Amino acid sequence: MTDETALNDDLPILTDLDLADDPDAPASLRRGAAVIRSYWHNAPIGPGVYRMLAADGELLYVGKAKSVRKRIASYMRTNGHVSRIARMISLTATMVFVSTATETEALLLEANYIKQLKPRFNVLLRDDKSFPYILLAASDKAVQLTKHRGARTIKGDYFGPFASVWAVNRTLNALQRAFLLRSCNDSYYENRTRPCLLHQIKRCSGPCTGEITPQQYDGLVQDAKAFLSGKSQAVRAHLAADMTQAAETLEFERAARLRDRIAALSAIQGAQGINPRSVEEADVFAIVEEAGQFCIEVFFFRTFQNWGNCAYFPRADKSLSLGEVLDAFLAQFYADKPAPALILLSHDIENVGLLGEALSLWAERKVEIAVPKRGEKKELVDHAAQNAREALGRKLADTASQARLLEAVGQVFGMDHPPRRVEIYDNSHISGTNAVGAMVVAGDAGFMKTHYRTFNIRSEDVTPGDDFGMMREVLTRRFSRLQREASPPKPQPDEPPQFGEMESDDSPAETAFPAWPDLILIDGGRGQFETTRAVLAELNIDNVTIASIAKGLDRDLGRETFFLEGREPFRLSPRDPALYFIQRLRDEAHRFAIGTHRARRKKDFIKSPLDEIAGIGPARKRALLHAFGTVKAISRAALSDLEKVSGVNAAMAKLVFDFFQKGS
């Protein structure tokens, strides 16, 4: 008898709720277990991924298993579950299965589903951004030294990852001084007739105008690759020998330039912090937990150098162990990143072999995962754990402070509970041009930048400069879409949480950041307030508090006037902490709106009339500008002259000629 046959014998299909394991179990739990039983017969026997969904289609959980049928059988009983699993079973209305060839493929698919769909009951990697790399981009002209983020589709050599943009920018500046490699784009490089400012300040060797021979430039590229590959001592020794030789032959200017390059290399190494002696390439992960919150600190070591660290605060149920959270985190972390040869962990994880196999398959080389017990590797993990504890301590302190401020804001605006999500709106334009609306979001964790949104004002009914019309369009688009995508907030209980009290429910559903705001804050006076109230009334939204903040006389801070439904306009004490906090919220919305507006305006400034001609791409645009110099010269060119441009055929030349003739 096979294991699957035995499982069928042990777990017959039960459709009557009275036949559930525990008759005293809640009806919702017995109902959910019965739903899972109904799907059990059709579940894959082999490896795969399963998804559990609620009645309204919300994704509750994504899991993987070597045998999906065996795994979901554990959800068919109604006793012995921790509260998190019991709630998940109670909410399950349907299930979806995907079979895979191997358990490794199931692990990778599960990680992708979790990252994309963000199920309520899974461990979620929050604030996951791609890390910047240093790229030596291959080119027919001269290798380019640049910063790169995102998919690695450009041909060249990648070095990283770096933990922050600040770290990679600092390193790039030092590398420019040390190796004099070009950082300009190909279009700028091809159109130079004399060296640029970077050559004058000794940050580029000037290959664009022949200030250095291709052979000499290739030598600089090889030195840069060697340094970034960990051969820093050999590169420094080579430069020191050249400096000594230059000094002996009385080439003091060349010796001084080599001295400055050596100093730049020393600056890079001096800023690396802890540099391991025996670990050439590794990612170090350490996890800590306090007050039901988790922190995972990641250190990146490449070429025996510390290239920075980053703290993550994954969303996970506090009933999970540190190893379980770290296990789920790692699969998501490497879903879109290349893994190093060695991964060091602070805790053992269940899927260590499976994860190592999956990462090795992905990286096309062996990836080792280890939990060191002694030596320098253990010291690196301990150092990461110490940083994780400190980061979590700061996070908890900030969260507590933020929670107190939100509580104060709730009291100021007469709310019966502290707001969990605050949305702040502002508009920005110049005489109606490049008009944008901006939405900034704040919560217990501070400003939630992944929830920020911008709105390009596009309605033809809005008169340029009409702030009320722009606000109406922004709010209508925002809340109409929210009504389609998210269930409206549930009515507050008869006895809502009192100020100063925290909700004790540890459900991920309760701790997840809500989609609907509790408070809408508008930068403006009574007109903006009435516009907002009218929009929400048209959409039948009546359980969100609305407030607007008007700048004081002469725009003085501390003299703002607040508008709130059911109250006369009022002010707060200039020293009220709640006023300072509201000012911060308002100023962040203003900053975000202004930044978006300036970006649009800058894009319009650099926009060329050639962009409006169908068929004129970057290559033909570059060819035309190279031939005539300016757009104005192109507009005055004869048809016969346009046809002579390389890459522009007769039909395309006629399009360009007709375009400018119509506009003249």
Give one DSSP letter per residue of 515-564, joined into a string.
SS-SEEEEES-HHHHHHHHHHHHHTT--SSEEEEEE--GGG-TT--EEEE
In the CATH scheme, what is the code of domain 413-603?
A: 3.30.420.340
d(CA 49, CA 117) in angstroms, rounded, equals 14
Beta strands in 174-281 (DSSP E): none
- Helix (H) / strand (E) element for 35: namely helix 27-40
Between 144 and 8, residue with greater pLDDT: 144
Cα–Cα distances (Å) from 287 to 234, 398, 422, 572, in that order, read 37, 19, 30, 43
* Domain 282-395, architecture per CATH: 2-Layer Sandwich (3.30)
DSSP string across 55-68: TTS-EEEEEEESSH
pLDDT at 578 over 60: yes
At residue 245, the pLDDT reads: 73
Which residue blocks in 64-213 are alpha helix, DSSP H? 68-73, 83-91, 103-117, 165-179, 186-190, 197-200
Spell out a b/e string for 384-400, using b for 16 or more CB atoms within 10 Å of the CB, else e: bbebbbebbeebeeebe
Q: Alpha-carbon distance 280 to 75, whole Å? A: 45
Position 555 pLDDT exceeds 60: no
| Residue 490: predicted pLDDT | 58
Q: Is the per-residue pLDDT at 316 higher than 60?
A: yes
pLDDT at 231: 62
How buried is residue 524: exposed, middle or buried, by Cβ count under 10 Å (0-12/13-18/19+)? buried
Q: What is the pLDDT of residues 220-232, one digit of tens each?
A: 888 888 777 666 5
Contact 285, 296 (CB under 8 A): yes
Task: Give the CA radius of gyration of the chain.
Answer: 31
Q: How many helices (H) and strands (E) does the chain have?
A: 22, 18
pTM: 0.64
Q: Does pLDDT of 14 surpass 50?
A: no
Where do the CATH 3.40.1440.10 domains begin and end in the chain?
Answer: 3-117
C-alpha triplet 126, 490, 450: angle, nearest 5°: 20
Hunting for tokens 């050439």 — which residue is that? 280
User: Residue 20 has what pLDDT?
Assistant: 44
**Domain limits, CATH 3.30.420.340, in the chain:** 413-603
Contacts 24+ apart (CB under 8 A), 6-15: 7/69, 7/70, 7/73, 11/37, 11/40, 11/73, 11/76, 13/37, 13/38, 13/40, 13/41
**Which distant-in-sequence residues (6+ apart) come within 8 Å of 470 by Cβ?**
427, 429, 435, 437, 457, 462
* pLDDT above 90 (res 541): no
CA 508 vs CA 129, 270, 316: distances in Å: 22, 44, 7
Looking at domain 609-663, its CATH superfamily turns out to be 5' to 3' exonuclease, C-terminal subdomain (1.10.150.20)
Q: How far, in Å, CA of 664 to CA of 612, rounded?
A: 15
Domain with CATH 1.10.150.20 in the chain: 609-663
What mean pLDDT value characterizes the chain? 80
456-486: pLDDT as tens digits: 877 777 776 678 888 888 899 999 988 887 7
pLDDT tier, 346 (very low <50, low <70, confident <90, very high otherwise) = very high
What band does 507 get if pLDDT is binned at 50, 70 and 90?
very low
Residue 202, both tokens = 């000794």
> pLDDT tens, 589-600?
889 888 887 877
Beta strand 305-312 pairing with 453-456: unpaired
> In whole angstroms, what is the distance from residue 139 CA to residue 146 CA?
12
Q: Which tens digits make up the pLDDT trace of 277-313?
A: 778 788 999 999 988 889 999 998 887 777 778 888 8
Q: Using DSSP bridges, classify how beta strands 342-345 and 282-290 pair: parallel, antiparallel or unpaired.
A: parallel
The dihedral through the CA atoms of 354, 359, 364, 367 has a sign that is: negative
From 186-190, 404-408, 462-466, 494-498, the region with the lowest mean pLDDT: 494-498
How much is the pLDDT for 232? 59
The DSSP 8-state label assigned to residue 411 in this structure reads: H
**CA nearest to 509, candidates 8, 71, 119, 46:** 119
Q: Give the DSSP letter of residue 100.
A: -
User: What is 3-117's CATH number, 3.40.640.10, 3.40.50.720, 3.40.1440.10, 3.40.50.2300?
Assistant: 3.40.1440.10
Q: How confident is the model at residue 15 (pLDDT cuts 50, 70, 90)?
A: very low
Other beta carbons within 10 angstroms of residue 563's beta carbon come to: 23
